[in-house]
Structure 1
């Protein structure tokens, strides 16, 4: 196994790796996990250049260089001022793309939905904002609205803004990615964690550490079967050797506390009447 001083995990805005980091600390307390926050467009480059061992990124990625396991798909929401007419809809009622046809919809350069000029709902702004955070500022100025994954709407939350889910809108998919040529044991360990594998089923270091604990359970299970077979064997033997079982019953009726070999010999020595 390749020995690393630590495991470096890069992640993009909106992704919260906390639950997986906690499991890592429980299973591999001797291997520190370093978190590297990176902008949406920088995470993949960080992996390519060896700046991280794995990353929580948004698809798509270059499959010729990186391996990727899709983890979940985010709900897309439209962000707008609280006094916007879209706010009149009930929270449980998703906005429709058709409702945005006459709205200015910002398309930041770090767009995570894969929108294009042709697929952008509504009217494009005069210029594209550099970042999603810049677009949020423009939305707060009541200039237009913005489509983003729900996690980014929460990340850039403002009291004067709100959001609604958008039906049939493009969605962002979060994945675990790593360089194909550097699939180390520690990478395999993290893959097992994000996939929800238990310690015993993990392919990485955790499996080797958990093996001694699993052996006593198997031994205990093995001892249980012979007991059942032995009990069954006694019943079978009793059926074949009916005389022995009958002798034992006679000894019990006679009040003798022991039905050993000498008692059996004595009974055999009695003359038949």
Structure 2
């Protein structure tokens, strides 16, 4: 059975809006048309995807299962369309996603040397979109800092590096050669505690019901909170070195797991350029 991508796109819109009227408005189609398309998809799959009652529209277990696969499927289709349009327009590009603190220049230069007609582009990513950038086709290959969502991705481990704690320059621990996670037990962590389970296990900070950390998306936002004395952040050493500023310092933390970096790409793609770039990076890492 072949899935109709248009119906799948309609399904995802309803799943995200939890409302047929709002989904139809977002899709710029009439609600009866949307309802017919969803019924046709359910008929093709022989499964009910939504429960609708006076409380609203909810995904069934079958709908939840489809949604998990539908988003990567649509992302891959959109990426394929972009690649085809680029080739048809005479553009031959290869885009690499990278995170701050990582030096990728030697591999980029080697790929460019081997393919002078290829436009090699670089796109900075962050922790929140590093995996999506690959699945959505915005980059052909990306450097991921783990942990990361690796669903649908092929990965090659590259390196690991120690992690440090970022502190205000006048902090009681500033200037020390190293600290332990126990030294940080009384600090407020400005990131997801699951990123630093060693801190989570010893933290003295009360975990009150409903208490939520501020929505800090970027490292720059975290640094402003650190400088203001609102908390600390544990980062890979190279990231800390990249974001040098006079009112913040960093100190190694001896007893937490190192940060791991891998190279990742869409597992469904069979691009010779991706394979070649991966080999270039791995050869450089071995030497």
TM beyond 0.5: yes
SS of 2:253's equivalent in the other structure is: strand
Counterpart check, 1:73 vs 2:160: yes
> CA contact under 8 A between 1:81 and 1:142: conserved in structure 2?
yes
Query: Deviation of residue 185 (structure 1)?
Result: 0.7
Pick one of 128, 134, 138 that aligns with 1:47: 134
Once the two structures are superposed, residues 57-101 of structure 1 have per-residue CA deviations (whole angstroms, 9 ceiling, x without a partner) of 122445451100011112110111222221242xxx321111112
Does 2:182 correspond to 1:94?
no
**Bigger shift: residues 155-164 or 125-134:** 125-134
> How do residues 126-205 of structure 1 correspond to structure 2 at under 5 angstroms?
127-131=213-217, 132-196=219-283
**Structure 1's 122 and 8: CA in aligned 2 closer, same or farther, altered over 3 A?**
farther
Match of 1:115 in 2: 196
CA contact (8 A) 1:80 1:146 kept: yes
**TM-score normalised according to structure 1 size:** 0.62
From 78, 85, 92, the counterpart of 1:5: 92
SS of structure 2 residue aligned to 1:167? coil
Could you report, residue by residue, the CA deviation over 1:9-68 in whole angstroms, capped at 9, with x for unpaired residues?
Answer: 112333232221122222222222111112221121121122221111122445451100
Aligned to 2:257, what secondary structure does the other structure show? coil
Aligned pair in 2 of structure 1 residues 104, 15: CA closer, same or farther (>3 Å)?
same
TM-score of the pair, normalised by structure 2: 0.59
1:151 Cα deviation after fit = 2.1
Report the RMSD for the aligned CA atoms in angstroms: 2.8
Please give the per-residue CA displacement for 1:188-247, whole angstroms capped at 9, x wherever unaligned: 11011101169xxxxxxxxxxxxxxxxxxxxxxxxxxxxxxxxxxxxxxxxxxxxxxxxx
CA distance 1:87–1:175, shift in 2 (3 Å): same
Structure with higher Rg: it is: 1
CA deviation map 1:97-152 (0-9, x unaligned): 111122222226xx8x7236844745379733413322211111123222111122
Q: Is the 8 A contact 1:97 1:121 kept in 2?
A: no
Structure 1 runs of 4+ aligned residues shifted over 6 Å read none
2:101 is matched with which residue?
Answer: 14
- Written as runs of structure 1 = structure 2, the 5 A alignment for 1:197-236 is none
Gaps of at least 5 residues in structure 1 are 199-273
What is the alpha-carbon distance in structure 2 between the residues aligned to residue 61 and residue 163 of structure 1? 24
Distance between the aligned counterparts of 1:146 and 1:159, measured in 2? 16
